[in-house]
Structure 1
């Protein structure tokens, strides 16, 4: 998959708290490029803005916005995946329910495939984070 050059002079604003969810399909349908050009919902109170890649790919860069006090998609499931994940927290924070540990602005995570993490709860101000996914076979 080819990535496109993209630059911002200011950070894209996340959706206001309590916004009506926009599905990935709706975001794609509203776009002339075939890729979502707006924030779309990936779970209750959790939003994603595709920066590069494809939304259904394990090779993409996104901004994720957790509304205040939001729990990850499955609040009881520990998360694992088959790709490398890099996360940089920009605003607010997340707490890992299993580890009993939280992270805030400036924190960074590098997760290898199979690493157990989550579920998460966002801070009272929510959480804005940059997330990059890279398939293991692309290294």
Structure 2
């Protein structure tokens, strides 16, 4: 799905903490990992803008830092995440821009969880 023009909308509530990953009641949110949910705002798998919800105190399942093959931009809207490798936490308003291959994480969500805006861009579209 290519990006398309749209006016402001109100986001649907994210799934409650503990919702089973295969629950049919979460649409339009979808599960991307244990305790992690996404809402596609625009685009497709290769080039997209999403809201990503981490359930409270959720710890990512990987134990090694994460890397991607794409550019990733992230801004926290509610709550925050702690980078367990760096032993540093960030909250509302924190912003990251990651080039392909940049190591980050693993993460633990704050006690209130973390709602973040995430933009994924293929490296071929680098500005």
- Which TM-score applies when normalising by structure 2? 0.89
Judging by fraction of residues, say which structure has more helix.
1
Q: In structure 1, what is the equivalent of residue 119 of structure 2? A: 132
SS of residue in 2 equivalent to 1:19: coil
Find out whether 1:67 has 2:19 as its counterpart: no
Question: By how many angstroms is 1:46 displaced?
Answer: 0.6
8 Å Cα contact 1:14-1:65 kept in structure 2: yes
Partner Cα separation in structure 2 for residue 73 and residue 7 of structure 1: 36
Q: Does 1:22 align with 2:22?
A: yes
Deviates more, 1:90-99 or 1:13-22: 13-22
Match of 1:105 among 92, 101, 104: 92
Segments of structure 2 that go 5 or more residues without pairing to the other structure are none
The answer to whether the Cα contact below 8 Å between 1:62 and 1:132 also exists between their aligned partners in 2 is yes
Cα-Cα RMSD: 1.9
* Aligned residues between the structures: 125
Given that residues 87 and 129 in structure 1 are in contact (C-alpha distance below 8 angstroms), is that contact kept between their aligned partners in structure 2? yes
SS in 1 for 2:124: helix
SS in 2 for 1:98: coil
TM-score under structure 1 length normalisation? 0.82
Distance, in Å, in 2 between the alignment partners of 1:7 and 1:114 is 34
